[in-house]
Amino acid sequence: MPRVEYQGTAVDVQEGETVLDALLRRGLPISHSCRAGVCGSCLLKAAAQTPPPAAAQAGLKDAWRASGYFLACLCRLESDLVAAPAGDEARVPAVISALERLTDSVLRVRLETRAPFEYRAGQFVALLREDGLARSYSVASLPSEGMLEMHVRILPGGQMSQWLATQARVGQALSVQGPSGECFYVPGREEQPLLLAGTGTGLAPLYGIARDAIAQGHRGPIRLFHGVVNTAGLYLGDELAGMAAQTPNFSYTLATLAADGPLDALILNTHPSLKHWRAYLCGDPTLVQSLRKKVFLAGASLNDIHADAFLPSAT
């Protein structure tokens, strides 16, 4: 049976277990959230003499792979491994610089990082509390704004979201890791129509991508659809309507489930052909999966469909 050694504690990895499972079973405080290789929060570093399996490094930056970083939730061992916490090169200290309720259930969180942190609007980061609690949040801000902005849905019983909403204060220290994710604007093909679609706080990355595309001179149509269950879920409506009034190639459609039906049906009725479009899909995993398929069937190339599903934590 292979063993993982973490900060001096050796743990047998049982049949069918990942390194994350084994370390958590032993009660070791390893940050984690999705357990599916998406959020990145279970990042660990292997000692040079025990490189991790390649499958546990899927999706990591080349430099991180070369340094022995791996995702503990993807790591299944055939031989022993010596692992350590992710180092400073992977996690950047930050403080909360602003907290603002946008609605009863959506909190705007702004962070200032204490070291340079490169990202593109629309990507997501792992936000790590000092005790190791980690969750992913998409970035609504542009790097030029000098801070990281996130829109956090406040969930009943939500460990991170309730803490941010009720206990965290401006000045609170945290750290961020990343960025990750495929939803960000890539300059070029300035005439290409862009479809931005998401539900709930799936608006956060879309808001960032739309503003980035406009700032970078995108000339093709930019169509943003925001789906909410009812109008209580509406946020940034005035700001987006103002953007639409000032930007001829940008439009914003708010769709409530009760009045407009499912978001995917509304989009496909409005745009039955999406040939040559580029699509960004974010938020509820079921909707993202359904839209990805429908947007492809409506003619968009797979290479032009970018999606980040907000998978819930699996802790």
Binding positions for ligand FES, rule: CB under 6 A: 32-35, 37-42, 71, 73
Match 């790591």 to its residue by tokens.
75
Least separation in angstroms between residue 31's CB and ligand FES is 8
Q: Is 312 in the site for ligand FAD (CB under 6 A)?
A: yes
State how far the Cα of 126 lies from the Cα of 117, in Å rounded to an integer: 13
Per DSSP, which regions of 139-274 are E strands? Answer: 148-153, 173-180, 194-199, 222-228, 250-256
Q: Is 257 in the site for ligand FAD (CB under 6 A)?
A: no
Partner in contact with 94, chosen from ligand FAD, ligand FES, none, beta carbon below 5 to 8 Å by kind: none
> What backbone torsions phi and psi does residue 299 show, to the nearest 5 degrees?
115, -10
Distances (CA, A) of 106 to 162, 230, 232, 239: 11, 14, 10, 15
Span interacting with ligand FAD, options 69-77, 155-163, 241-249, 287-295, rule CB under 6 A? 155-163
* Strand-strand pairing, 194-199 and 173-180: unpaired
State how far the Cα of 224 lies from the Cα of 194, in Å rounded to an integer: 8
State how far the Cα of 219 lies from the Cα of 250, in Å rounded to an integer: 9
Identified binder of ligand FAD from the candidate list 13, 22, 34, 254, rule CB under 6 A: 34
Span interacting with ligand FAD, options 55-63, 66-74, 290-298, 307-315, rule CB under 6 A? 307-315
Residue 117's Cα: distance from chain center in Å? 16
Q: Is 153 in the site for ligand FAD (CB under 6 A)?
A: yes
Partner in contact with 158, chosen from ligand FAD, ligand FES, none, beta carbon below 5 to 8 Å by kind: ligand FAD
Q: Which of 171, 93, 172 is nearest to 125 (CA)?
A: 93
Q: Is 124 in the site for ligand FAD (CB under 6 A)?
A: yes
Instruction: Please identify, using beta-carbon distances, which residue of 132 and 146 lies nearer to ligand FES.
Output: 132
Q: Which of 89, 170, 160, 84 is nearest to 127 (CA)?
A: 160
Partner in contact with 201, chosen from ligand FES, ligand FAD, none, beta carbon below 5 to 8 Å by kind: ligand FAD
Least separation in angstroms between residue 232's CB and ligand FAD is 15
Q: Is 38 in the site for ligand FAD (CB under 6 A)?
A: yes
Contact residues for ligand FAD, defined by CB under 6 A: 34, 38-39, 124, 135-138, 150-153, 155, 157-161, 181, 201, 204, 308, 310-313
